[in-house]
Structure 1
Amino acid sequence: MTLLLTLINCAEKASNIARVCRSNEKLLSLLVQEKSGAEKNQRFDQDFKTLADVLIQETIKHEVGTQFPDMREHILGEESPNFTNTNGQKVSIAVGATESETAACLEEVLGGFEGAAAALATEVHAEVAYKGEELGDIPAQLDQLDYSNLGIWIDPIDATAEYIAGDSIFSSFPGITSAGLDCVTVLIGVYKRDSGVPIIGIVAQPFAKKLQENSYQTALYWGVCLPTLKAHNCFFKEREGSQRIGIFSSSEQANILQSIRDLNYELAFSAGAGHKALKVICQDADVYLLSKGSTFKWDTCAPQAILRALGGDIYDYVESINQQQAVPINYISKEDKCNTNGLIAVRNPNLVKELLEQLA
């Protein structure tokens, strides 16, 4: 199985775990834990992690590390595997060799909720194959990759606060959700460790398609950008009309927003870095701009790889303005986790020159 297909199936398994955790309000309330210290995103007064976050991350690490052992030590994620259970005991989440081992670990976290632990362990060890209609053709050339030179950044549940909050709130812009479950994404990005360039990206929306109450279907997008290959499943029609749309965090600086308005963009606001980047990928928005250092490598690696496959990219906001040329975000340093200089994400790179001149 190619690395791409393995990651696609991991994203679907991650979506299943996210849905199982979210389907029971009592279980969800048990699983939520506030982050503190170095784990906390300083942009938010409260920043939560859930067992779903940690379990998804460790599941992906386990599966990819087992199938591609050369990559095992270079699979990185947002979350610490350490969790405090309802009895105040610290537990390190680990995927066991068997379903029963994983269930035993999860029971420790859940304080004896055997049924919930067993249900989650079943999802972790299930054989999963994503079968969405939009999967597209998986390129075979990926078999030639040097796995010893690859690293992965995982954001197991991007927009955790929206995941906890629940139902979606839609904006006035077609295809753009302001808040809620539709903003939740699973992000898996692969990069070359010697160059820091992202080459494979998976963005999955576990709650994209509501089938019935508490029943959802995943929407999944992937892209590959190599010197000899560009492939993706992101075939979207351009929006009707000529109006340009920029998508932003609600905390973006007022003067930045006015500068973008002056370029005749309409402004949309939405939660989730992965979701906002996905809106650019899907052509629901033309640019995602963030002037603050409040996103991290795990937020951008996956969508950046997809945008590169589409001819776009995610650029360093400050350096691009200073140099008056597009400077892509890079992943060569795994210690520097924060995108401290902000970002500009576009599918059409022809938009960047005008933006940089306006923001200088």
Structure 2
Amino acid sequence: MTENDEQLAERLATAAGAILLALRAEGLEGKALGQAGDEAANAMLCRELRAARPDDAILSEEEKDSAARLAYNRVWIVDPLDGTREYGEGRNDWAVHVALAVDGVATVGAVALPGLGITLTSGAPVPLCPANQPLKMLVSRTRPAAEAVSVAERIGAELLAMGSAGAKAMAVVRGEADIYLHTGGQYEWDNCAPVAVAQAAGLHVSRVDGSAIRYNAADSYMPDLLICRMELAQEVLRLAAEYSPK
């Protein structure tokens, strides 16, 4: 039986996570582990995607980009290891992203959280939990964005530091947090799969100016992102727009 796109994304993200866990069990640490993990997971993902979907393009963090992908309607956007630092440190807040953008829209996504033993997908949306009280906002472990800190203060949200973009986005999907506001810059592979999963779960997803997120752009850099509960979106967007550095 032929896999559909959702099944393919889930299988590959989960398999890449298994490769990464096995490598970590071999005793490598730090940067050496991160590099080995990136290479091994990327090789498998790209090989399998090319075999299963030969007529689609691929954009991966670990592959040399080509402008040829701009001519394709269907582009697989992959991050073989999101949160290399956390992975190398033996933490659980890292992820594998496998997404399919169709005509620039994040349509299919799978985010594996191998350290937790789960893979979340757009094909099997997670029912949303009630909002946290007080609200919780996710920020980077190493460089929390000033805008996010300001918004959290104004809405009375607690800050929750976490590693990879995928882990943070899935924390909102899973109900561990309510808001993920990122203004420090990312790339398409950092958030395409998380965005597809978050949208399927019924969360608000946009740029920080409220505009829709588009993929398969000539420049894969993406300055900002908001993933949050629908009922919080208008206020968070308003406060983010009002922010000005002191």
Q: What TM-score results when the alignment is normalised by the length of structure 1? A: 0.60
Return the offset for 1:154: 0.7
Q: Pick one of 225, 231, 238 that aligns with 1:343.
A: 225
Question: What per-residue deviation string (whole Å, max 9, x for no partner) do you get for residues 229-257 of structure 1?
Answer: xxx24135325x63211111141244641
Larger-gyration structure (1/2):
1
Distance 1:245 1:327 in 2: 23
Alignment of 1:90-109 (within 5 A): none
- Per the alignment, residue 69 of structure 1 pairs with 54
**What residue identity is the alignment partner of 1:205?**
L
- Paired residue total: 231
Task: Work out whether 1:222 is the aligned partner of 2:106.
Answer: no
- Per the alignment, residue 59 of structure 1 pairs with 44
- Per the alignment, residue 68 of structure 2 pairs with none
Structure 2: which 5+ residue stretches go unaligned?
Answer: 65-71
Ranked by relative contact order (alpha carbons within 8 Å, sequence separation 6 or more), the top structure is 2
Q: Pick one of 62, 65, 89 that aligns with 1:165.
A: 89
State the identity %.
25
**What residue identity is the alignment partner of 1:202?**
A
Q: 1:331 to 1:313 in 2, by over 3 A?
A: farther
Matched residue SS, 1:190? strand
Distance 2:147 2:9 in 1: 40
Distance 1:302 1:351 in 2: 22
Q: 1:258 to 1:30 in 2, by over 3 A?
A: closer
Return the offset for 1:312: 2.1
Question: What per-residue deviation string (whole Å, max 9, x for no partner) do you get for residues 101-134 of structure 1?
Answer: xxxxxxxxxxxxxxxxxxxxxxxxxxxxxxxxxx
Matched residue SS, 1:243? coil
Q: What TM-score results when the alignment is normalised by the length of structure 2? A: 0.86
**What residue identity is the alignment partner of 1:272?**
S
Distance 1:314 1:257 in 2: 19
Task: Work out whether 1:246 is the aligned partner of 2:142.
Answer: no
Return the offset for 1:260: 2.0
**What residue identity is the alignment partner of 1:24?**
E
Q: 4+ residue runs of structure 1 moved beyond 4 angstroms? A: none
Matched residue SS, 1:207? coil
- Per the alignment, residue 297 of structure 1 pairs with 188
Distance 1:271 1:30 in 2: 15
Distance 1:237 1:221 in 2: 15
Distance 1:357 1:30 in 2: 40
Alignment of 1:1-360 (within 5 A): 1-25=3-27, 28-29=28-29, 32=32, 49-71=34-56, 74-80=57-63, 149-166=73-90, 180=91, 182-192=92-102, 194=103, 196-208=104-116, 218-224=117-123, 232-238=124-130, 242-250=133-141, 251-254=143-146, 256-293=148-185, 295-317=186-208, 320=209, 326-333=210-217, 335-340=218-223, 342-346=224-228, 348-359=229-240, 360=242
**What residue identity is the alignment partner of 1:156?**
P
